[in-house]
Amino acid sequence: RSCAILLSGGGSNMVQLVKSMAEAGHPARPVLVMSNDPGAGGLARAQAMGVATDAVDHRPFGKDRAAFEAELTARLEAAGADLICLAGFMRVLTEGFVRHWEGRMLNIHPSLLPKYRGLHTHARALDAGDAEAGCTVHEVTPALDDGPILGQARVPILSGDTPESLAARVLVREHELYPACLRRFAAGERHPIYLN
């Protein structure tokens, strides 16, 4: 499979996905790393790893999400992508884009879905007094953070945790979970995995 990765920030998940696709026998290869922010740190990291990059700044499109996403799709298809990994991509995608890529697009979300869809997941888990938190890889469907779950990893919430300390602990697990889920999905496996 030809995998494109969409990001908005530093791209730590992208780095792990690209590294994992270099492993022997991996059924996917990275063909593009693209951002909605031309200044995203992940673009330089992808270039350093020898992966083609691109950027479509969403700001000139204003409220015309469909036009922005049409440009994304054009670039993705020009690169030959047939599988998309959203990895710290911070733009909400419209139903049109999701329907076009449905069944071929994954996302990682920093909570144990179905809990805490949306933003500020760690602060919400802390405020709720949860004993644990974690991350979820799921197929992207039109409803936000709602598609079939492909994998989850859990971490304990420790006394004194802040959203930042919890996010750092979860991020370590994201870097284990997402590559494992990508490899299985690209190989056609659909049963979810639950890391200890």
List binding-site positions.
11-13, 65, 107
Q: Which amino acids are annotated as binding site for (6R)-10-formyltetrahydrofolate, given as ranges?
A: 65, 107
Residue 105 Cβ, how far from ligand GRF at the closest point, in Å?
14
Q: Which amino acid is at 151?
A: G
Report how far residue 112's alpha carbon sits from residue 125's, in angstroms, rounded to the nearest whole number: 10
Nearer CB in complex with ligand GRF: 76/121: 121
DSSP symbols for 126-161: HHTT-SEEEEEEEE--SSTT-S-EEEEEEEE--TT-
Q: In whole angstroms, how close is the CB of 87 to ligand GRF at the nearest point?
A: 5
- The residue behind tokens 């936000």 is 144
Binding site for ligand GRF (CB under 6 A): 7, 9-14, 42, 87-88, 108, 110, 135, 171, 174
Query: Catalytic residues, which ones?
Result: 109
Neighbours of 9 (CB within 10 A): 16
Q: Tell me which residue has its CB nearest to ligand GRF.
A: 88
Residue with smaller CB distance to ligand GRF, 87 or 125:
87
| H or E stretch covering 28 | none
DSSP 3-state of 118:
coil
C-beta of 1: minimal distance to ligand GRF in Å? 20
**Given the complex with ligand GRF, which of 65 and 169 has the nearer CB atom?**
169
Residues ≥6 apart with Cβ < 8 Å to 138: 106, 107, 109, 113, 145, 146, 147, 148, 149, 150
Pick 55 or 171: Cβ nearer ligand GRF: 171
Q: How far is the CB of 109 from ligand GRF (least distance, A)?
A: 6
